Amino acid sequence: MKFYRILLLLAFLLAANLQFAQDAKEEEDKLSLDEGPISNQFDYVAKRSGNYRADGIRYEVVKETNLFKIRKNVLDSIAAMNKKTSELKSTISEHETTITSLNKKLDETTTNLSLVTDEKDSMSFIGIPVSKGTYNFILWTIIGSLFLMLGLFIYRFRNSNILTQEAKQNLSELEIEYEDHRRRALEREQKISRHLQDEINKQKKTK
């Protein structure tokens, strides 16, 4: 029974080792100098490199073609990165120019909006721009003054009309009184004339 257990354990370890070796082989097969990130390419070079000892010193042996290849790939990556950086800088510069232009237009729009708002909130009075509140105050002051003047005119007109009616009535009474006085004066004059004529007649008769 113990023998079977040892045999089973050895079989499990062998299977695990084979699986690990297979995974490592697949992982190594994925590594390449023709594709993938630079870090994987360095892993590829490291796994493809050998080593040896001489005079107690451990040396790493790298295949020259792999070294030149990864050097080229690194330089290409740096060039691509520099190009991408230049493109990003150009894009950023364009965006900054666009933002500056938009900010300028925004300032102009804000200024125009402020002017339009001021014009909307103000009105022209005899050629002078004034606010709506001031305009309304002036307008209602003028209207109130006109109504006050109209009321004063109506009041004075009524008083004048009353005085005119009273003057007409007094004149009419005065005319009646004058006619009555003239009639009495005429009667007295006629009476005096008759009396004078009678005296003249008497004088003639006595002679």
| More confident position, 150 or 63 | 150
Please answer whether residues 70 and 42 qualify as being in contact, where contact means their C-beta atoms are separated by less than 8 angstroms.
Answer: yes
* 94 part of a folded domain: yes
* 19 part of a folded domain: no
* 9 part of a folded domain: no
* 147 part of a folded domain: yes
Residue 2 pLDDT greater than 70, yes or no: no
Looking at the structure of the chain, the number of domains it has is: 2
Q: Which two tokens stand for residue 113?
A: 């909006």
Could you tell me the pLDDT band of residue 133, with boundaries at 50, 70 and 90? confident
On whether both 183 and 106 belong to a single domain, the answer is no
Q: What is the pTM of this model?
A: 0.37
* 3 part of a folded domain: no
Tell me the backbone φ, ψ of residue 164, rounded to 5 degrees. -65, -45
Residue-wise pLDDT tens digits, 15-48 = 555 454 455 444 444 666 677 777 787 777 777 7
* 101 part of a folded domain: yes
Tell me the backbone φ, ψ of residue 30, rounded to 5 degrees. -75, -25
Domain limit, last residue, from 85, 112, 139: 112
Residue 69 is part of which domain span?
A: 25-112
Tell me the backbone φ, ψ of residue 131, rounded to 5 degrees. -70, 160
CA distance 65 to 70: 9
On whether both 138 and 167 belong to a single domain, the answer is yes
